[in-house]
Amino acid sequence: MRYILSLVLALLIFSFSDSKKSHNSYKDTTSKVSNNLTTPPKADSFLMKYNFQKGDIYKYKIKTLSSSSQELLSDSTINTNARQTIEYKVKLSVESITPQKIAQINVFIESIFVDGVVNGQPITYNSNYIQSSQEKMMFAQYESIKKKTFTIDITEHGEIINIYNTNEIVNELLSIQKQSQNVTSAQKTELANNFSTSALRPLSEQIFRKFPTKKVSTNYTWSESYFSQFALFQIENIANYQVSGVKMEKNDSLIIVSAGLSINFIGEHKATEKGMSFYFYDPVISGNGTIKFNKTKGLVVYSETSTNMEMVTDIDGVDENGKQFHAKRTDNTSNTNIVELIK
């Protein structure tokens, strides 16, 4: 169960750091328009920005589908697997907007549903039900945020610059873990920061994607980089985006953005521990997706993004009987995040 709870924190991917780069992609179509033009026509351009208004209320559904498997091949084969679906329903309230176009938005977690299987054992959670003390401990991450509100400050281009108002969440988490009397003020602040980074920010960034601050047009591309660590590798994840088209839907302009994921990495392939040696093959990570941004409303109305990772490891050592052994372990993980504006 602890595995499932820790896995959740890694599911909501495509949350980015401030490191980014942008460039234009332009295809010359002048000859197809008119051979008499002395300058090529310029494509229509536009800003992708959120249209926040004080008092606005939005409701979103966020669904995460994840699966993981591990195959350990030696004298025999051992397989383990897990799958999980998590669905959040959240309500967003725009409290204020500064002259610099920074919006203060309250995020209220209305409900959470979890359904999964770990090696044949079913796992379920419904935030609308009263949980036992043991269940609260098992699902502490969800129990601490259900029916709770936290606040974000966000720019009109979707950069979340602050997350706060988390005291009630942290207090609930400490209460569930029976640690309320055992933590210092500094420890509580550190817990709040860690929880915001690992859980609240990824959840928020699924709803509010960060877009370029300059005007874009069809085929415009940009990228965002964020960093992670797996095994002995430091991984630079590069999320690439392209405006693939603009269409009208119910009298609204809908901007379609295609997404992809590539990586760079550095690190050691070999390691030893407790008499065993490990060889880590190059990690294989990929991703793709689609984001639909309603330019008229100034909101993401739908997105679906997926990531896949494979890691293969050779393991050599001596077993408890003094016999030399060799094993190959293959880990596969896939995650899909679906976000939908429901009101």
Per residue in 298-316, pLDDT tens? 999 999 999 999 999 999 9
Residue 218, SS3 per DSSP: coil
**pLDDT (tens digit, 9 = 90+) per residue, 244-259?**
999 988 888 999 999 9
Distance (Å, rounded) from C-alpha 8 to C-alpha 84? 9
| pLDDT at residue 43 in the model | 54
Using the 8-state DSSP alphabet, how is residue 244 labeled? E
Instruction: Report which listed range, 38-42, 105-109, 231-235, is most confident.
Output: 105-109
Parent domain of 183 = 2-341
Domain count, the chain: 1
Q: What is the CA radius of gyration of the chain?
A: 23
Residues pairing with 228 in the sheet: 235
Q: What residue type is assigned to position 278 of the chain? A: F
pTM beyond 0.85: the answer is no
Strands 77-97 and 252-267: unpaired
- Give the chain's end-to-end CA distance (angstroms, integer): 34
257 or 21: which carries more pLDDT confidence? 257
Whether 29 has a pLDDT exceeding 60, the answer reads no
Q: Is the pLDDT score of 242 beyond 90?
A: yes
Q: Which pLDDT belongs to residue 14?
A: 34
